[in-house]
Amino acid sequence: MRFKLYFTLENSQMPIQFRKSIISFFKHSLMNYDEEYYKEYYNEKDTIIKNYSFSTYFKQKSIQGEKIILEDDKFELNITTSDYETGIVLYNSFNKQKYKKYPLQDNSMTLQNIMMMMEKEITSEKITIKFQSPLCVRERNDNKDYYYCYENDKFEEIIKINIKEQLKITDIKEEVINTFKITPVRPKKVVIKFYEKCLECSTGVFEISGDKELLKFLYQSGIGSRHSAGFGMFQII
């Protein structure tokens, strides 16, 4: 299930760390819709694996310090989920926020419209994808996080570990991980500031192959670490 949210801004700028504000909007919307659903997706103590991802689209003009200057006062939020119930909950919670201002670090954003989007059908075990939000590949070792872009030798090894974690909330068998492969086509390394960390990520065009059920899940839920925080959403090209 995929849908797009259309926002207007009070002024034409976004914070560099706009993902923090988007996550806050998710939490606010869920809390005001149904507190039980909020608790299902968010918990202050435990990490909850989620079956959705998001990406943002805006027309960037320049960067000034901690602000992104835009060409206009609009941006779009793309959301995808592999679970129909989750999609309905998110859609309804956002719908309750239409036309209400929400703070966005020296700015405010107002949801104007929500539109359902078509999903592409996956008919083969190899697809070419373009990332709509950067791919985050994270290794957790001795309570420290290490992030790898496509240039690193451990890139594919660690992304498989990340995917294995994602599969814990599905009925997909863990061994399908062995079918997965990711190949850079027109890749790009990017560094994303996220809270107090700078994350080495990948974006651009890649080819991924594997079991069709696995590919469909990744297409609908996002791929890699921190996918529910605005990383790893892709479109099929």
Domains of the chain: 2-117 (3.30.70.1890), 126-236 (3.30.70.1900)
Phi and psi at 182, nearest 5°, equal -130, 130
Retrieve residue 81's tokens. Answer: 């989920």
Q: Nearest CA to 224 among 177, 179, 166?
A: 166
Task: Give me the pLDDT at residue 125, please.
Answer: 97
Which three-class secondary structure state does DSSP give residue 207? strand
Task: Give me the pLDDT at residue 105, please.
Answer: 87
Please enumerate in sequence order all residues whose Cβ is within 8 A of that of 130, keeping only pairs 6 or more positions apart, or say none. Answer: 204, 205, 234, 235, 237
How far, in Å, CA of 140 to CA of 198, rounded?
15
Task: Give me the pLDDT at residue 22, please.
Answer: 96
Please enumerate in sequence order all residues whose Cβ is within 8 A of that of 46, keeping only pairs 6 or more positions apart, or say none. Answer: none
DSSP class of residue 119 equals: P
Scanning the chain, the segments in alpha helix (DSSP H) are 18-33, 35-41, 84-95, 155-166, 212-221
Phi and psi at 83, nearest 5°, equal -115, 120
**pLDDT per residue of the chain (237 residues) written in tens, 0 to 9:** 999 999 999 999 999 999 999 999 999 999 999 999 999 999 765 578 999 999 999 999 999 988 999 999 999 999 999 999 999 999 999 999 999 999 998 899 999 999 999 999 999 999 999 999 999 999 998 889 999 999 999 999 999 999 999 999 999 999 999 999 999 999 999 999 998 899 999 999 999 999 999 999 999 999 999 999 999 999 999
Distances 127 to 97, 113, 209 between C-alpha atoms, Å: 36, 31, 6
Indicate yes or no: pTM above 0.85.
yes
Task: Give me the pLDDT at residue 232, please.
Answer: 98
Angle at alpha carbon of residue 78, lines to 186 and 27, rounded to 5°? 125
Task: Give me the pLDDT at residue 45, please.
Answer: 57
